[in-house]
Chains A and B, each alone.
Chain A
Amino acid sequence: MSELRIMDKDAGDLKVIWDKDNADEVEAARSQFDALLKKNFIAYTVDAKGEKGKITKKFDVSAEKIILIPEIMGG
């Protein structure tokens, strides 16, 4: 199982889980991913330990975990 973790200012952190062999779950996760990137969210893939991170612009169905953070600004 893989998961999207979404930092949401209203609902708090959201989790979307998918099984790469389940087309419906994959499509739901991909759709969520694409919608948030359009809102300028930044996506990082990390392994199950939260390491080996990298930025991704494309939904990776085989990723273990994708973390979506809102757009960043200087303070």
Chain B
Amino acid sequence: MVQYGSTTSTVSSGTSVTTWNYWITAGTTTTTTATSSVWHIWTTCGTTPILSEKELLEAQRVIAAQEREAAARQEQERAVHAEREKKARLLLKELLTEQQNKQLDDNGFFELTTVNSGNRYRVWRERSRNIELLDKEGKRVNRLCFHPKDYVHDYDTMAAQKLMLEYDEEEVKKVANYS
């Protein structure tokens, strides 16, 4: 069993402090003593400031600079995301009919009917589990899940899904999970 031992020392400022600076191995006579560095300035709280005014101003300056850098990074990330979304929405817009685009803007999904099979699908704005196979009344029969392996924007995912459903439905049946 090992415990800390404590002792009282006087440090350079003349302040008396208690430090834990040696180990006691219980049950033996071995004691190891080490020299410790202590933050003695913390022991004088209430009488002497923790930081001098100059140190405090410097710390505040550093913190403010770090906060400004973090805010700038966040703003840059938001701008990049907005640009990616704009480009992905443009591509999807080019692939959808006017009615499908309105459906997407109004409801967060668009519907399509494939030429070959006549199947009707609803594609929601999500990355996965976002496609519904509908019956003639528009009720969900199945939910499908397939998407690009890469984490592209949701609008790109929807564009890829639209292309596959309309022009490669057989491949969709092979790769998609149905629930």
Contact = CB atoms under 8 A, between A and B. Distances in A.
Interface centre among A13, A42, A53, A55 (most CB of B within 10 A): A13
Range of interface residues on A (Cβ < 8 Å): 20 to 34
B67 interface: no
Contact of A72 (B80, B151, B160): B160
A53 B163 contact: yes
B87 A13 contact: yes
B63 interface: no
B175 A74 contact: yes
Interface string B151-179: 11100100110011011100100011100
Nearest to B175: A74
Contacts of B84: 12-13
A53 B166 contact: yes
A7 interface: yes
Given A5-B91, A12-B88, A50-B94, A55 B148 contact: no
Given A12-B80, A74-B146, A74-B177, 19 more contacts: A7-B152, A9-B150, A12-B83, A12-B84, A12-B88, A42-B160, A55-B167, A69-B148, A69-B159, A70-B150, A71-B150, A72-B147, A72-B164, A72-B175, A73-B148, A74-B145, A74-B175, A75-B128, A75-B177
